[in-house]
Amino acid sequence: MPHLLAVSLLLFLLQGYANAAALPTCASAQAALTAQLRLQPEQLQGCVQLSDAIVLRYGVKGDIATFAIQAQLPPKTAYLGVGLSELGSMKGADMFILNATTSGTAAAPGWRLVDAYAPGFVRPVADKQQDTKLLGVSSTSNSGLIAAWQRHVAPCDAQDLPLPSTPIHVLWAYGASWGYHGTVNRGSSLVSFLDQPLQQQQQQQKKEPLSVTAASGPAATSSNVAAAAGGAAAGLPAGVKVLELTYPVTIPEHTTTYFVQYFKLPSNKKYHILRYEPITNSQLLHHGVAYSCDAKAAAAVKAMKSLGPFDRFKHDMQCEQFYMLVVPNTTAYDAPQSAGLPMGTPGSQYLALELHYNNPEGLTGQKDKGSGLRVYYTDVLRPHDIGLITLQQPVLNIPPGQAVLRSNVSVCPSECTAKFKGPLTLLDGFFHMHGLGKSIITRRFRNGTELSPVGQLRSYDYEFQGNTPINSEARTLLPGDTLTLQCTFDSTSRRNMTRSGPATADEMCFHWLSYYPAQEDMGLCYSFGNRPFSVCGASMPKQLSDALHSRNGTSNVAAQMMKLLSDGVLLPAADPAEGSKPYREVCSSKPVA
Ligand SMILES: *[C@@H]1O[C@H](CO)[C@@H](O)[C@H](O)[C@H]1NC(C)=O
Ligand SMILES: *[C@@H]1O[C@H](CO)[C@@H](O)[C@H](O)[C@H]1NC(C)=O
Ligand SMILES: *[C@@H]1O[C@H](CO)[C@@H](O)[C@H](O)[C@H]1NC(C)=O
Ligand SMILES: *[C@@H]1O[C@H](CO)[C@@H](O)[C@H](O)[C@H]1NC(C)=O
Ligand SMILES: *[C@@H]1O[C@H](CO)[C@@H](O)[C@H](O)[C@H]1NC(C)=O
Ligand SMILES: *[C@@H]1O[C@H](CO)[C@@H](O)[C@H](O)[C@H]1NC(C)=O
């Protein structure tokens, strides 16, 4: 009896002790890391609360990044993974894995740090080259798990991601055994690791609204919305009008559904969209894209009996000009002070709102009463229009069974950018391919020298659409610069040739760049297949589409194109990579000392 009493007393005490261990905060993490792992506070200036139970502290000095976590995880947790990801997908994520080892005791296991990467939605595998250095790890019931490690900002290792000058997604997950963590024990936040000069920081803040709100950040609040309904949304001029673009759907049981509905936009005159934000009424909403309809597509949409919603897999979408992005759980996107996104112009009288629902558990009867976009617009126009340039490779012939198939390089030549009236400020980029997309890059050349890329996704995932921020050093595009776009595909899943086209089974290779001030007659800039000329202008010249589709009674397309080139309808374009000084990514190959 006394024995049992002692045991229950001990259990009671232990429980009390466990309950006393508070959930971590940025402050508690800093205290524990400096006291127990002897880190200097200035090594860990940055902090993000990844979840109620996990805090990440970080700091960058020179080319060394320090990462540290404090986490209160369930007993017998087998691993905690923290990863860097370009679009928030696990595919291609660069992971740090704290893996419990069998040494140590069940109550206080030993932990090993593994530098790993995730080739897909599968268990991460250790990098061939280990680039991390564990500074210390400790696991007590009071402080929970604390650990700190270092890595170069940009290791020379294709299995690592360099820390960018823009925010990057930080993923986390943990599990009771080395395997799938389930849908609960995981999450992601956007984190800016690198300090930036003031001017770039200001630009960053304008971009901030597209970030997934960290637990500590402000969410799009209902007071904000209430204020908007009253006509004066926070930070916007009086008289701004609000437009809600949403539609109700019943979400099918299958994993992936894309719905599309067309909307007629206010177009009695020209407006400026100053802000837009997501409206999310279903937890199954994955993301959405609003495409504006050019005049031709608008005519087709106007002629339709029903504007939708319809299943994207069953009907092709008419409108393909990227316009706005719906990312659930993010705050508003604000246009820069001196510019607005045009609405009501001939190319923006209709839009197609595509919403992607993800229902991995096959839930039945799920309804969304209406998700989409809330758009704040005004007829008091700002000095500049925001413009969009479409880069694309329209000729794609992808043979089946290729693990790495590169498209032809599509060139936006300096003869085209030379028509800019002055330097452009790039705001955002949006890459788009379909299911075979593997990676994508837009390179930048100036006067015979390749500069850092305008953007790239080293690991593309169709399931994770999102804006790709432009690195601070690449935000100015000068007249005379040349851009080249190249897509890489993996066609091992296909039996037949895949070609470019709008259907899901077709492929695409797009990079839309938003910028200001908008340049007149500047919507497209790209070349075709490997042909040495490019289109440059507001839209596709009719003679060219006729020639491409051999609609002119002659099959000699190449000869017709050469004629268009000599007529100045097309511009000469050659891949500038040949004969240019190549860009070399700066990276550190030595281990962290
Ligand atoms: C983590 O540990 C388990 C065994 O406990 C091992 O199978 C797995 O490979 C380890 N993970 C990594 C990334 O090293
Ligand atoms: C948005 O937030 C809700 C509530 O926190 C969550 O259930 C949902 O999964 C989130 N959606 C995405 C796409 O992150
Ligand atoms: C390219 O070089 C020429 C001649 O050196 C110079 O005049 C021009 O400004 C340069 N252009 C850019 C964009 O740097
Ligand atoms: C491939 O093409 C053949 C002939 O056109 C067709 O019969 C077959 O269904 C296609 N296979 C796939 C997997 O699309
Ligand atoms: C490259 O361009 C040529 C000519 O336009 C075309 O025949 C070829 O199929 C293209 N390659 C790919 C991979 O699309
Ligand atoms: C197509 O034919 C018309 C009339 O025959 C001609 O004027 C035009 O230049 C042709 N276009 C091309 C691209 O050859």
- Mutate which of 170, 283, 287, 355 for ligand 2? The one with the most ligand atoms within 8 Å of its CB, which is 283
Report whether residue 496 contacts ligand 4, using a CB cutoff of 6 Å: yes
Q: Of 148, 31, 68, 158, whose CA–CA distance to 458 is shortest?
A: 158
Whether the CB-CB separation of 83 and 56 falls below 8 Å is answered with no
Report whether residue 493 contacts ligand 4, using a CB cutoff of 6 Å: no
Whether the CB-CB separation of 167 and 466 falls below 8 Å is answered with no
pLDDT of residue 553: 62
pLDDT of residue 158: 94
Nearest residue by C-alpha to atom 10 in ligand 6 = 552
Position in ligand 2 atom list of the atom nearest CA 188: 14
The rounded distance, in Å, linking the Cα atoms of 248 and 443 is 41
Q: What is the DSSP string of 527-579?
A: E-TT-SEEEEESS--HHHHHHHTTTTS-S-HHHHHHHHHHTTSSEE---TTTT
Q: Starting from the CA of residue 132, give the closest ligand.
A: 1
Nearest residue by C-alpha to atom 6 in ligand 6 = 552
Ligand 1 mean position to 144 CA, how many Å? Answer: 21
Report the chain's mean pLDDT, rounded to a whole number.
86
pLDDT of residue 230: 42
Ligand 3 mean position to 455 CA, how many Å? Answer: 23
pLDDT, tens digit, 9 for 90 and up, residues 85-120: 998 899 999 999 999 987 766 556 689 999 999 998
Whether the CB-CB separation of 100 and 110 falls below 8 Å is answered with yes
Position in ligand 4 atom list of the atom nearest CA 495: 13
**Residue 424 DSSP label:** E
Nearest residue by C-alpha to atom 13 in ligand 2 = 286
pLDDT of residue 30: 96
Nearest residue by C-alpha to atom 6 in ligand 1 = 178
- The SS3 assignment for 502 reads coil
Query: Which residue ranges of the chain lie beneath pLDDT 50?
Result: 1-2, 4-5, 7, 9-19, 196-231
Ligand 1 mean position to 76 CA, how many Å? Answer: 15
The rounded distance, in Å, linking the Cα atoms of 268 and 501 is 33
The rounded distance, in Å, linking the Cα atoms of 277 and 361 is 28
Nearest residue by C-alpha to atom 1 in ligand 6 = 552
Position in ligand 2 atom list of the atom nearest CA 287: 13
Report whether residue 549 contacts ligand 4, using a CB cutoff of 6 Å: no
Alpha-helical (H) ranges within 361-515 are 414-417
Whether the CB-CB separation of 86 and 468 falls below 8 Å is answered with yes
Q: Beta strand 339-343 with 384-385: parallel, antiparallel or unpaired? A: parallel
Q: List, in sequence order, every residue forming a beta bridge with 285; answer none if it has no partner.
A: 357
Ligand 5 mean position to 407 CA, how many Å? Answer: 7
Nearest residue by C-alpha to atom 8 in ligand 4 = 496
| Cα-only R_g, the chain | 26
Position in ligand 2 atom list of the atom nearest CA 285: 13
Position in ligand 6 atom list of the atom nearest CA 547: 13
Position in ligand 4 atom list of the atom nearest CA 494: 13
Position in ligand 1 atom list of the atom nearest CA 101: 5
Sheet strands (E) in 407-475: 410-412, 424-432, 437-446, 449-457, 468-469
Ligand 5 mean position to 296 CA, how many Å? Answer: 27
Q: Of 472, 573, 455, 451, whose CA–CA distance to 524 is shortest?
A: 573
pLDDT of residue 174: 95
Q: Starting from the CA of residue 423, give the closest ligand.
A: 3
Ligand 2 mean position to 328 CA, how many Å? Answer: 7
Nearest residue by C-alpha to atom 2 in ligand 5 = 529
Ligand 2 mean position to 353 CA, how many Å? Answer: 20
pLDDT of residue 315: 81
Report whether residue 3 contacts ligand 4, using a CB cutoff of 6 Å: no
Indicate the length of the chain as a whole number: 593
As to burial, measured by CB atoms within 10 angstroms (0-12 exposed, 13-18 middle, 19+ buried), residue 462 is middle
Q: Which amino acid is at 153?
A: V
The rounded distance, in Å, linking the Cα atoms of 48 and 67 is 11
Ligand 5 mean position to 267 CA, how many Å? Answer: 40
Report whether residue 313 contacts ligand 1, using a CB cutoff of 6 Å: no
Ligand 3 mean position to 447 CA, how many Å? Answer: 6
Q: Beta strand 241-251 with 271-279: parallel, antiparallel or unpaired? A: unpaired
- Mutate which of 528, 552, 556, 561 for ligand 6? The one with the most ligand atoms within 8 Å of its CB, which is 552
The rounded distance, in Å, linking the Cα atoms of 87 and 439 is 12
The rounded distance, in Å, linking the Cα atoms of 237 and 275 is 11
- Give the predicted TM-score (pTM) of the model: 0.83
pLDDT of residue 206: 32
Position in ligand 3 atom list of the atom nearest CA 447: 1
Domain annotation for the chain: domains and CATH numbers: 26-195 (2.60.40.1210), 241-385 (2.60.120.310), 387-579 (2.60.120.230)
The rounded distance, in Å, linking the Cα atoms of 189 and 195 is 18
Residue environment code for 40-52, b if the CB has 16+ CB neighbours within 10 A, otherwise e: eeebbebbbbbbe
As to burial, measured by CB atoms within 10 angstroms (0-12 exposed, 13-18 middle, 19+ buried), residue 16 is exposed
Nearest residue by C-alpha to atom 8 in ligand 3 = 447
Ligand 6 mean position to 26 CA, how many Å? Answer: 69
pLDDT of residue 51: 95
Q: Starting from the CA of residue 551, give the closest ligand.
A: 6
